[in-house]
């Protein structure tokens, strides 16, 4: 039927025309058009950095467009700040939640539109009543007196949606709303979206996940590198078609990997107990082992103890009880220094916080664990010639760009920063490589590179532990998959036999007995 025909009889609520946005010389958006129709779900599909969020930030008044026009209900508007967007009935749920952690749910919802009695004094009674009313109307149940820091991520998302509805939003922008949810929570969210459209709200869904676009959206606009590629009717297209439009070429969803038998067990965790920053047990009597020549994937939703497990293994967090061994050596509660010397390498979750010293150049970053060893250092004096030679070797081998060892890590792109870390950790020749969220925020090319590096490591008879929130990644790369839920391993399956539905259920605590 085609997009034009499908939308002919619908009411246009938003029209963005020829939107261009430049950051310095960089063109983030190049003359993009977008139409939104009443009561419909409109998906925005594109890779990281394609310009989806930028476009929405312009609509919401957080960024100013360099040129272009916006019409709401046919009327030209000039949205210079979020207040104006809110007045026009636009609400936005950001990918990184915009919640004040020490505030309560109700305080967060009313912030900026506070009910007051005399003299600007807060009227919390009315606030609680309003929040209750609105949450009942849309079936979004929350505890208005709970503090944000104490409630779950999916609850926080509800608070975000309520925040927008409290402000009378007719058009709701959801930025990557499922990134932090379990498969079950995603189903709930899609139901919420459907409820909202039934009430006449229009939804803009920003996502790079094809499956949920297929499930939830009516229309889908694809952008790539700031350019509008196509807008399609979702029911008339396939996931493959969307994917190839998104990346601009055919994409194979399968990672190239030969079958191979795993060797002996090399790394084991027994009855591990670890507490988080709030002193709550988050890793609870966990058992796990990894063999030589295999990639063990750890699947799970964010916040089920992955971070604490990772930090416990690498010596960054205290272990309450239990035992961790590599090559038969006990490394429980050893310092990071000792653990590194036991041939464990680690691609950290947060490359900018842990993985790199951003104010060091590439060469200094390549020797982070080895700076004191020969040939990089002799009698305590750094040997910059040798360091540079080494750094240039890594730059060539791992194709780090720009090819300049004296470039500050801060100036590199995300993909190249990750390459520096991967290069450093793999070149340390570890017996166990732990890769945590190794492809987060990377583009397709860099993702392929990282996956290839992990598989090479496995093919060289090394052990790899892959921790990822992306179920697809875990399923494609691993040999075996362990599922973590509330700090315990709730099941281990062979990757070949794994089914999404079953893993999803386990990730949500459903278990497989």
Partner 1 sequence: MKLNWKELRKTIYIFATEKTVGFTLISIFLGLVVGAIFLTAAGFNPFQAYGIILRGIFSKPSYISYTIIRATPLILTGLSIAFAFKTGLFNIGAEGQFIIGSVVATATGYFLHLPLLIHIPVVIISAVLAAGIWGGLAGYFKAKFGVHEVISTIMLNWVALYFQNFLIYTEGFQKPGGETSYSIQPTANMMILKTWKQSAAGREWLLQHPFWKDLLRTPANWGFIIAIIMAVLVWFVLNKTALGYRLRAVGFNRFAAEYGGINVNKNMIISMFIAGALAGLAGALQVVGVSHKVTLIAAMEGYGFDGIAVALIANSNALGCILAGLLFGALKYGGAKIQPFMQAPSEVVSIVIGSIVFFISIPRLIKLILSRKNKKGGTK
Partner 2 sequence: MIDTILTNLAMIIATTLMYSTPLVFTSLGGVISENSGVINIGLEGMMVIGAFIGAALGYFIGNPWLAFIGAGVAGGLFGLLHAFACVTFGANQIVSGIAINFLGPGIALFLSRIFFEGATMTKSISLDNKMPRPLNGIFPEGSLLNIIFDNQYATVYLALIMVFLFWFFLYKTKYGLRLISVGEHPTAADTLGINVMKIRYFAVIMSGVFAGFGGAAMSLAIVSNFRPTLISGHGFIALAAMIFGKWKPQGALLACLLFGGSQGLAVFLGQFDFEISSQLISMLPYVITIVVLIGFVGKSAAPSADGIPYEKEHKN
Contacting residues toward partner 2, per CB under 8 A = 23, 26, 28, 49, 53-54, 60, 62-64, 81-83, 86, 92, 94, 98-103, 107, 111-114, 116, 119-122, 163
Picked from partner 1, partner 2, none, the partner binding residue 98 (CB below 5 to 8 A depending on kind) is partner 2
SS3 of residue 36 by DSSP: strand
Which residue among 47, 364, 473, 479 contacts partner 1 (CB under 8 A)? Answer: 364
Residue 284 CA: distances (Å) to CA of 150, 287, 326, 381, 488: 20, 9, 20, 45, 6
Cβ proximity to partner 1: between 72 and 367 the closer is: 367
Q: Which of 377, 386, 413, 476 binds partner 1 (CB under 8 A)?
A: 377
Which residues lie closer than 8 Å to 98 by C-beta, 6 or more apart? 160
Residue 29: beta bridge partners? 21
Residue 97 beta carbon to partner 2: minimum distance, rounded to whole angstroms = 8
Q: Which is nearer to partner 1, 356 or 495 (CB)?
A: 356
Query: Which residue in 461, 465, 469, 460 sits closest to 478, CA to CA?
Result: 465
Helix (H, G, I), strand (E, B) or coil at 324: strand
Report helix angle 414-427 to 384-397, nearest 10: 110
| Least Å from the CB of residue 363 to partner 2 | 27
Residue 337 beta carbon to partner 1: minimum distance, rounded to whole angstroms: 4
Say what angle helices 153-166 and 183-198 make with each other, to 10 degrees. 10
- How far is Cα 258 from Cα 460, in angstroms, rounded to an integer? 12
Q: What angle do CA 118, 119, 123 make, to 5 degrees?
A: 55
Q: Which does 105 bind (CB under 5 to 8 A by kind): partner 2, partner 1, none?
A: none
> Taking CB within 5 to 8 Å according to partner kind, which of partner 1, partner 2, none is near residue 360?
partner 1
Q: Does residue number 141 form part of the binding site for partner 1 (CB under 8 A)?
A: no
- Of 361, 447, 363, whose CA–CA distance to 412 is shortest? 361
Interacting partner of 116 out of partner 2, partner 1, none (Cβ under 5 to 8 A depending on kind): partner 2
Residues 379-408 that bind partner 1 (CB under 8 A): 380-382, 384
Shortest separation between residue 466's beta carbon and partner 1, angstroms: 18
Out of partner 1, partner 2, none, what residue 103 binds, judged by CB under 5 to 8 A for its kind, is partner 2
Is 491 one of the binding residues for partner 1 (CB under 8 A)? no
Residue 62 three-state SS: coil
Q: Which is nearer to partner 1, 58 or 367 (CB)?
A: 367
CB 153, min distance to partner 1, A: 23
Per CB under 8 A, does 177 bind partner 1? Answer: no
Q: Which does 368 bind (CB under 5 to 8 A by kind): partner 1, partner 2, none?
A: partner 1
Region binding partner 1 by CB under 8 A among candidate stretches 1-9, 136-144, 212-220, 337-345: 337-345
Residue 372 contact among partner 2, partner 1, none, beta carbon within 5 to 8 Å by kind: partner 1
Report d(CA 117, CA 306) in Å as an integer: 46
CA proximity to 298, closest of 134, 417, 471: 471
Q: Residue 287: which residues within 8 A CB-CB, separation 6 or more? A: 269, 270, 271, 272, 489
Of the candidates 148, 138, 142, the one whose C-alpha atom is nearest the C-alpha of residue 172 is 138
Q: Which of 94, 88, 96 is nearest to 16 (CA)?
A: 88
- Shortest reach from residue 206's CB to partner 1, in Å: 30
Query: CB under 5 to 8 A by kind: which of partner 1, partner 2, none does 53 bind?
Result: partner 2
Torsional class of 176: left (φ above 0), alpha (ψ -120 to 50), beta (otherwise): left
Annotate each residue in 308-327 with x if it binds partner 1 (CB under 8 A) or - if it does not, as one string: ------x-x-----------
Binding site for partner 1 (CB under 8 A): 314, 316, 335-337, 339-341, 346, 348, 353-360, 364, 368-369, 371-372, 377, 380-382, 384
């Amino acid at each position: 039927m085609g997009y034009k025909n499908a939308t002919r009889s619908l009411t246009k609520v938003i029209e963005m025309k020829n939107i261009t946005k430049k950051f310095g010389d960089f063109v983030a958006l190049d003359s993009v058009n977008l139409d939104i129709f009443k009561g419909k779900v409109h998906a925005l599909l594109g890779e990281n950095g394609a310009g989806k969020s930028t476009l929405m930030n312009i609509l919401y008044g957080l960024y100013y467009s360099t040129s272009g026009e916006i019409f709401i209900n046919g009327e030209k508007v000039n949205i210079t700040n979020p207040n104006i967007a809110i007045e026009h009935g636009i609400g936005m749920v950001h990918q990184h939640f915009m919640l004040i952690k020490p505030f309560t749910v109700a305080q967060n919802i009313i912030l900026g539109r506070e009910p007051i009695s005399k003299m600007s004094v807060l009227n919390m009674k009315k606030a609680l009543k309003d929040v209750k009313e609105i949450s009942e109307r849309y079936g979004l149940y929350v505890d208005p007196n709970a503090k944000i820091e104490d409630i779950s991520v999916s609850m926080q998302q509800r608070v975000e949606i309520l925040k927008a509805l409290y402000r009378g939003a007719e058009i709701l922008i959801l930025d990557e709303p499922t990134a932090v949810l379990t498969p079950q929570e995603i189903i709930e969210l899609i139901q919420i979206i459907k409820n909202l459209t039934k009430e006449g709200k229009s939804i803009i869904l920003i996502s790079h996940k094809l499956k949920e676009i297929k499930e939830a959206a009516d229309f889908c606009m694809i952008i790539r590198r700031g350019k509008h590629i196509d807008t399609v009717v979702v029911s008339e297209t396939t996931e493959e078609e969307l994917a190839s439009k998104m990346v601009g070429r055919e994409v194979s969803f399968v990672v190239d990997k030969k079958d191979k038998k795993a060797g002996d067990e090399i790394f084991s965790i027994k009855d591990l107990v670890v507490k988080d920053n709030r002193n709550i047990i988050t890793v609870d009597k966990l058992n796990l082992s990894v063999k030589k020549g295999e990639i063990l994937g750890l699947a799970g939703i964010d916040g089920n103890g992955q971070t604490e497990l990772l930090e416990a293994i690498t010596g960054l967090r205290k272990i309450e009880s239990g035992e961790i061994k590599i090559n038969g050596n006990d490394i429980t509660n050893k310092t990071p220094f000792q653990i590194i010397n036991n041939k464990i390498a680690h691609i950290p979750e947060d490359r900018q916080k842990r993985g790199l010293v951003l104010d060091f150049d590439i060469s200094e970053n390549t020797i982070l664990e080895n700076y004191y060893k020969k040939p990089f250092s002799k009698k305590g004096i750094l040997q910059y010639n040798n360091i540079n030679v080494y750094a240039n070797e890594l730059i060539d081998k791992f194709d780090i760009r720009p090819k300049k060892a004296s470039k500050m890590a801060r100036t590199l792109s995300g993909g190249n920063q990750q390459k520096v870390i991967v290069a450093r950790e793999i070149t340390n020749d570890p017996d166990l490589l732990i890769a945590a969220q190794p492809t987060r925020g990377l583009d397709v090319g860099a993702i392929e590179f990282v996956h290839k590096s992990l598989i090479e490591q496995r093919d060289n008879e090394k052990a790899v532990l892959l921790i990822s929130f992306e179920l697809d990644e875990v399923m494609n790369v691993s040999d075996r998959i362990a599922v973590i839920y509330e700090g315990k391993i709730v099941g281990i399956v062979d990757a070949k036999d794994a089914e999404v539905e079953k893993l999803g259920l386990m990730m949500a605590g459903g278990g497989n007995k």
